[in-house]
Chain A
Amino acid sequence: MGPLVPQGIISPEWDFIIALVIGIGFGFILEGAGFSSSRNLVGLFYGYDFVVLRVFFTGGATAAAGILLMDYFGWIDIGQLYVQPTYWGAAIVGGLIMGLGFVTGGFCPGTSFAAASIGKMDALMFVVGTFLGAFLFGETYPLIQNFVNSGYEGGIKIYDSLGMSRGLFTFLLILVAVGMFYFVPVIEKKVRKPEY
């Protein structure tokens, strides 16, 4: 039956309403997981708090296993899911900018909105910066167009590139995630959380 929108079971006009509902849920979970605190977020970098890693690994592993199982049950069709195409040049530089901004500012785009919603001034500036950056990108797009589109690979998938089945890759992902959950507390104990 699924995916619901490309199959026409839910009409595309409902896209925005569904996005709104999912967005509210996502923001709720982000705030609930403590992602609106920049101290929790940059803890990953300094090594005293790995909540970000835990949440995102859990999310990734659950989604991967769930989609594979649902495809097997016939509830969803993997072939019809949209795969974001890969651009190597833009991905590497964008990742560097994002990581640098993350560790200096203490938020990523999504969490800055979650933090702004509970009234944090620095997060609010982050949101303003996000819009300014998007505006600048749009204005300078003709200049950087060649770079943005460089290294195009299409919708490649990591398990295809590694030459393994997607089931095996998902199993390894879960294995790594579980390993992390046991290993990470050891680091957390060694690194003392700074007092503010």
Chain B
Amino acid sequence: MQKGTIFLTVVALGIGVLVWLLPERPESNDIPPHILLHDIGSGTRFYSTDQIASMLIGRDPSLQLIDVRDPEAYDKFHLPGAVNIPLKNILQEENIDMLSGEEQQHVFYSNGTLRANQAWVLTKRMGIKNTFVMQGGLNHWIETIMNPPYPPSSAPSQAFDLYDFRVAAGSYFRGETAAPVKKQKAPVKVVPRRKKKVTVSGGC
């Protein structure tokens, strides 16, 4: 028997015993803490209410809103197309399965940001990639989309464009008419007309 053969046999068996004795890692998709911290610290998880509004109006099929409030609050009011997963049920298996789907972006919202953010931290830790948070929640939704503040006259023109968009989106979600949404991309000329309208309504 060759010396080399015996040596190789010992090495192979040694590695085998080593592998046998290694403690087995429990199966989980948890992401490392430093990656989770990086995601928590950076704001890449946030969608603004304006982005969500324009996605809803455009009927973006990749958007799936998720209402993490209680069922009672959800029944009273929820954004169009949102499904209800109360925060306390978020770890249930069927919900995790649904959130793990990679073809849609799952955007959490609640009254504010906090609860949605907590849902996001939990799902992110579990290695679920496509979850996001609507920044400001429904409070901010009302303040920006349904009841936008009129920009000061010194504001840049983008602020007025944004205001126009918000007014149009607000009327869309109120169910008045969808037409202004498409006019929103029209040239800046539209702006003075809008201004008049607003002052008139203020006079009333």
Chain A residues near B (Cβ < 8 Å):
61, 64-65, 68-69, 71-72, 78-79, 165-168, 170-171, 173-175, 177-178, 181
Contacts of B16 in A (CB 8 A): 61, 65, 170-171, 173-175
**When the two chains form their complex, are residues B12 and A167 in contact, meaning their CB atoms are under 8 A apart?**
no
Contacts of B25 in A (CB 8 A): 71-72, 78
Measured in the bound complex, the distance between the Cα atoms of B15 and A65 in whole Å is 7
Does B77 make an interface contact (CB < 8 A)? no
* Residues of chain B at interface, number, CB under 8 A: 18
**When the two chains form their complex, are residues A178 and B20 in contact, meaning their CB atoms are under 8 A apart?**
no
CB-CB under 8 A for A65 and B29, given A166-B24, A178-B9? no
**When the two chains form their complex, are residues B22 and A178 in contact, meaning their CB atoms are under 8 A apart?**
no
Q: Within the complex, which residue of B13, B24, B29 is in contact with A178, where a contact is CB–CB below 8 Å?
A: B13
Contact sample, A vs B, 13 pairs, CB 8 Å cutoff: A61-B12, A68-B19, A69-B18, A69-B19, A72-B22, A79-B28, A167-B20, A171-B19, A173-B16, A174-B13, A175-B16, A177-B12, A178-B13
Contacts of B9 in A (CB 8 A): 178, 181
Would you list the 3 A-B pairs with minimal beta carbon distance, nearest first? A174-B16, A171-B20, A171-B16
CB-CB under 8 A for A168 and B20, given A71-B25, A79-B27, A79-B29? yes
Measured in the bound complex, the distance between the Cα atoms of B15 and A71 in whole Å is 14
Nearest-neighbor residue (CB-CB) of B27 within chain A? A79
CB-CB under 8 A for A174 and B12, given A79-B27, A79-B29? yes
Measured in the bound complex, the distance between the Cα atoms of B16 and A36 in whole Å is 31
Measured in the bound complex, the distance between the Cα atoms of B8 and A174 in whole Å is 12
Q: Within the complex, which residue of B5, B20, B23, B27 is in contact with A170, where a contact is CB–CB below 8 Å?
A: B20
Chain B residues near A (Cβ < 8 Å):
5, 9, 12-13, 15-25, 27-29
Measured in the bound complex, the distance between the Cα atoms of B26 and A78 in whole Å is 11
Measured in the bound complex, the distance between the Cα atoms of B24 and A167 in whole Å is 8
Q: Within the complex, which residue of B5, B19, B23, B24 is in contact with A65, where a contact is CB–CB below 8 Å?
A: B19
Contacts of A72 in B (CB 8 A): 22-23, 25
Measured in the bound complex, the distance between the Cα atoms of B17 and A106 in whole Å is 37
Measured in the bound complex, the distance between the Cα atoms of B27 and A167 in whole Å is 15
Measured in the bound complex, the distance between the Cα atoms of B9 and A177 in whole Å is 10
Minimum CB–CB distance for B63 against chain A, Å:
23
Contacts of B13 in A (CB 8 A): 174-175, 178
Q: Within the complex, which residue of B19, B28, B29 is in contact with A167, where a contact is CB–CB below 8 Å?
A: B19
Measured in the bound complex, the distance between the Cα atoms of B15 and A171 in whole Å is 8
Minimum CB–CB distance for A121 against chain B, Å:
38
Contacts of A168 in B (CB 8 A): 20
**Known pairs A167-B24, A181-B9. 14 more at Cβ < 8 A?**
A65-B19, A68-B19, A68-B22, A69-B19, A72-B23, A79-B27, A165-B20, A165-B24, A166-B24, A167-B19, A167-B20, A170-B16, A174-B13, A177-B12
Nearest-neighbor residue (CB-CB) of B32 within chain A? A74
CB-CB under 8 A for A174 and B29, given A69-B22, A168-B20? no
Minimum CB–CB distance for A81 against chain B, Å:
12
Minimum CB–CB distance for B27 against chain A, Å:
6
Q: Which of B12, B19, B20 has the most CB of A within 10 A?
A: B19
Q: Which of B17, B20, B28 has the most CB of A within 10 A?
A: B20
Minimum CB–CB distance for A188 against chain B, Å:
15
Measured in the bound complex, the distance between the Cα atoms of B23 and A79 in whole Å is 16
Nearest-neighbor residue (CB-CB) of A78 within chain B? B25
Measured in the bound complex, the distance between the Cα atoms of B22 and A171 in whole Å is 11
Contacts of A61 in B (CB 8 A): 12, 16
